[in-house]
Amino acid sequence: MAKEILKDCGLYKNSPTLISCPTCGRTQYDMIPIAKEMESFLQTLESDITVAIMGCAVNGPGEAREADIGIAGGKEEAVLFKKGKVVRKIPQDRIVEELKSEIVKMIE
Ligand code: SF4
C-alpha cells in the first residue's frame, strides 16, 4: 500500500504496473482470477515493467500496446504479446505460469 502511494506521487518508480481492460462481450476466457493472481505476483517484484491482462486477442494487444508484455484471451488459450505484437499462444492451463516466467526473464 505504502509502495502504491509513493508510486502515485512519483517517488517510487521501481514497482510494476498492471493494466487490464474492462472486459466486454468479446472476452472469451476467465480473466479476473488471472488478473488477481498476476496482481499479487507483481507486488513481489522490483521493476517498472508494465503488464497487461486483456480480454480478447482481437483488440487486446493493440489496446495495450504501451505495455511491455501481456496476454489476451482466446478460446481455451491466450496469446502472449510484447509491445503490442503477438508472440505466441499459451494453452489455458499454463497462462499464469508462462506469463510469470516470461516476466521474470524480461526483468532479469
Ligand atoms: S480488449 Fe477485447 S475484451 Fe477487452 S475491452 Fe477491448 S475489445 Fe473488449
Q: How far apart are CA 102 and CA 10, in angstroms?
A: 27
> Is the residue at 32 inside a domain?
yes
> Is the residue at 9 inside a domain?
no
Which pLDDT does position 98 carry in this prediction?
Answer: 98
> Is the residue at 6 inside a domain?
no
Which pLDDT does position 10 carry in this prediction?
Answer: 66
State which H helix or E strand residue 20 sits in: strand 17-20
- pLDDT by residue for the chain (108 residues), tens only, comes to 666 666 666 666 789 999 999 999 999 899 999 999 999 999 999 999 999 999 999 999 999 999 999 999 999 899 999 999 999 999 999 999 999 999 999 998
**Ligand 1 first shell, C-beta below 6 A:** 21-24, 26-27, 54-56, 59-60, 63
Which pLDDT does position 1 carry in this prediction?
Answer: 60
Which pLDDT does position 3 carry in this prediction?
Answer: 64
For atom 8 of ligand 1, which residue has the closest CA? 24
Query: Could you give the number of structural domains in the chain?
Result: 1
Which pLDDT does position 4 carry in this prediction?
Answer: 65
> Is the residue at 85 inside a domain?
yes
Rg (CA), the chain: 13
**The domain spanning residue 76 has which CATH number?**
3.30.413.10
For atom 2 of ligand 1, which residue has the closest CA? 56
Instruction: Kindly report whether the global pTM for this prediction surpasses the value 0.85.
Output: yes
- What are the DSSP E strand ranges found in 31-95? 50-54, 69-73, 77-82, 85-91
For 61, other C-beta atoms within 10 Å of its C-beta total 24
CA–centroid distance, 26 to ligand 1, in Å, is: 6
> Domain range for residue 87?
15-107
